[in-house]
Amino acid sequence: MKRTKVIDALKCTNFGEDICVKGWVRSKRGSKGIFFIALNDGSTIKNIQIVGDDANFPEETIKRITTGACLSVEGKLVESPAAGQTSEIQATSIEILGDCDNTYPLQKKGASWEYLRTVAHLRPRTNTFGAILRIRHNMAMAIHTYFHEHGYFYFHTPLITASDCEGAGNMFQVTTKNLYDLKKDEQGKIIYDDDFFGEQTSLTVSGQLEGELGATALGAIYTFGPTFRAENSNTPRHLAEFWMIEPEVAFLDQEELMDLEEDFIKYCVKWALDNCKDDLEFLNKMIDKTLIERLEGVLKEAFVRLPYTEGINILQEAIKNGKKFEFPCNWGDDLASEHERYLVEEHFKKPVIMTDYPRSFKSFYMKQNPGISGKPGDTGESGSIGYKGAVAPGPTMQGTDVLFPSIGEIIGGSVREESYDKLMAEVKRRDMDMTHLWWYLDTRKYGSCPHAGFGLGFERLILFVTGMQNIRDVIPFPRTPRNAEF
Ligand code: 4AD
Ligand code: MG
């Protein structure tokens, strides 16, 4: 008999018909000569109830129906007398496709997240991880649909790269060299000319620079792929291997970029509410009672658009009023997540798009603002008037990061500097070696255009949408420092 998925069997009202379902036993209980199996096949959070008469099955078969076992069940679909389900199956035959050893690690309810990470090969079979992974799939579909519907082209950028896009020394090297016998020059520096690519290569930290090549040809592109960062950040928000979505768009200014960021996130959140109802209701009940309310809240409100300088003012004001932060936040400092979360969770109580950052901690490619304040006399150069009359450390750049409640930074974005001369001045100021990025500079030489883009951390979006607290629990097989199992 043809198999019906549990999600369809539960919706089916052809009572009295024979049906076949296959799946894994979530639980089994028995009373008065009848046994009840909760069977799940991953198609939905919901289990289908199988009812069997002890008298109709060999005792040996019934014994082998344990939590985790894989079954093929045939029987009659009937209206369920039990509350909360329309149909159930009166079993006529049960085939055990796979017995489950009594060492099965998921037998007990209420296992900790930490424990479940040690059995990541099996945790997708739990209710919670099933829900998270179905939502994760749905978010990927939302993202592709959004960009496709808005005329963006999916652009595939390489994972192996000879350049360091963000200028941070936190990349994983890619090599076929024999690490036990490295060829070195007289200074002891490794020679790469005999390596696979004939030069030093790494896994990419971002597809942006190649994305810009796509945008300046196709007008609007997006990437969606894995990204690698070897930073040793053992936090609930960092992975060494994560997925990033990076749209890049020609002729987009800073306001339009912020509109895009906001519209895109809201579209994804709405998609989850529209398409993942059962899974969200489960998570809302089991993980976080305010989840659905929070998701709906994000759709209703306009995100705050806050220049960095004003953000610093608010933080300084808070400190004056007794707020304590671990890290300093003077003009020119990169914000720590405690500062971001203060602004988002305590001060505004809604998502914030922070703009116009000092260049001290932002990437070289961001569009430079003429001056800090735009006031006369403020050239943005050191010594000109700037933040509250203090000496300005330099011009700001048109970054547009999105900060989210309980997540912190979910999007990092900016308008890009399209002027060759300004870009090169910044490169020189930072003493950057552009040998491997000659092709990037060509975009500013051959028909340069204003353009902008951003990167959304996929797992951070999934954290927000599921209400989960640790990024290790929203990707099937996380990669973090000292952990590459599974
Ligand atoms: O802010 P980031 O570093 O920006 C870029 O890489 C730009 N090239 C993007 C662009 O403009 N095209 O990273 C973008 C986002 C962050 O906001 C965060 O959500 C996520 O990527 N992210 C991480 N997620 C998980 N683990 C990590 N280690 C992450 N690092 C960044
Ligand atoms: Mg960032």
Residue 438 scores a pLDDT above 80: yes
Residues in contact with 345: Cβ distance below 8 Å, sequence separation at least 6, in sequence order = 405, 406
Determine whether the shortest distance from the Cβ of 244 to ligand 1 is under 6 A.
yes
Determine if the pTM surpasses 0.85.
Answer: yes
* DSSP H or E stretch at residue 161: strand 160-161
Could you give the 3-state DSSP secondary structure of residue 236? coil
Alpha-carbon gap, residue 361 to 336, rounded angstroms: 12
pLDDT reported for residue 21: 98
CATH 2.40.50.140 residue ranges of the chain are 6-98
The least confident of 16-20, 285-289, 325-329, 389-393 is: 389-393
| Cα dihedral 56, 57, 58, 60 sign | negative
CATH 3.30.930.10 residue ranges of the chain are 127-170+205-473
Measure Cα distances from 192 to 164, 170, 175, 205 in Å. 16, 19, 9, 21
Q: Alpha-carbon Rg of the chain, whole angstroms?
A: 27
Residue 385 scores a pLDDT above 90: no
pLDDT digits (tens, 9 = 90+) for 296-344: 999 999 999 999 989 999 999 999 999 999 999 998 899 998 999 999 9
Residue 55 in tokens: 């008298």
The least confident of 10-14, 412-416, 439-443 is: 10-14
pLDDT winner (highest mean) among 97-111, 391-405, 407-421: 407-421
Average the pLDDT over 93-106 and give the result.
96
Q: pLDDT class for 393, splitting at 50, 70, 90?
A: very low
Alpha-carbon gap, residue 337 to 476, rounded angstroms: 25
- Give me the half-sphere count of Cα atoms (radius 13 Å) on the Cβ side of residue 154: 11
Residue 471 CA to ligand 2 centre (angstroms): 16
Determine whether the shortest distance from the Cβ of 246 to ligand 1 is under 6 A.
yes
pLDDT digits (tens, 9 = 90+) for 247-284: 999 999 999 999 999 999 999 999 999 999 999 999 99
Q: Under a CB-based contact definition with an 8 Å cutoff, are residues 432 and 167 in contact? A: yes
Pick the CATH number of 6-98 from 1.20.1070.10, 1.10.3720.10, 3.40.50.300, 2.40.50.140: 2.40.50.140
pLDDT reported for residue 371: 60
Residue 360 CA to ligand 2 centre (angstroms): 13
The least confident of 122-131, 137-146, 374-383 is: 374-383
Amino acid code (one letter) for 256: E
Determine whether the shortest distance from the Cβ of 413 to ligand 1 is under 6 A.
yes
Residue 374 scores a pLDDT above 70: no
Residue 418 CA to ligand 2 centre (angstroms): 20
Amino acid code (one letter) for 295: L
pLDDT digits (tens, 9 = 90+) for 333-360: 999 989 999 999 999 999 999 999 988 8
Question: Which CATH superfamily includes the segment(s) 127-170+205-473?
Answer: Bira Bifunctional Protein; Domain 2 (3.30.930.10)
User: Which ligand is nearest to the Cα of residue 240, counting in written order?
Assistant: 1
Residue 15 scores a pLDDT above 70: yes
User: Which ligand is nearest to the Cα of residue 247, counting in written order?
Assistant: 1
In 24-35, which positions are buried (b, 16+ CB within 10 angstroms) versus exposed (e)?
bbbebeeeeeeb
Sheet with 451-457: strands ordered across: 153-154, 220-228, 241-250, 451-457, 408-415, 396-404, 352-358, 304-307
Determine whether the shortest distance from the Cβ of 412 to ligand 1 is under 6 A.
yes
Residue with structure tokens 């082998």? 64
Determine whether the shortest distance from the Cβ of 457 to ligand 1 is under 6 A.
yes
Residue 411 CA to ligand 1 centre (angstroms): 7
Measure Cα distances from 42 to 5, 125, 128, 253, 475 in Å. 9, 8, 11, 44, 17
- Alpha-carbon 140 to chain mean position: 10
pLDDT reported for residue 82: 77
- Neighbour-count burial of 232, counting CB atoms closer than 10 A to its CB (0-12 exposed, 13-18 middle, 19+ buried): exposed
Nearest Cα residue to 307 out of 376, 251, 373: 373
The least confident of 113-122, 159-168, 280-289 is: 159-168
Determine whether the shortest distance from the Cβ of 229 to ligand 1 is under 6 A.
yes
Q: pLDDT class for 112, splitting at 50, 70, 90?
A: very high
Average the pLDDT over 84-98 and give the result.
93
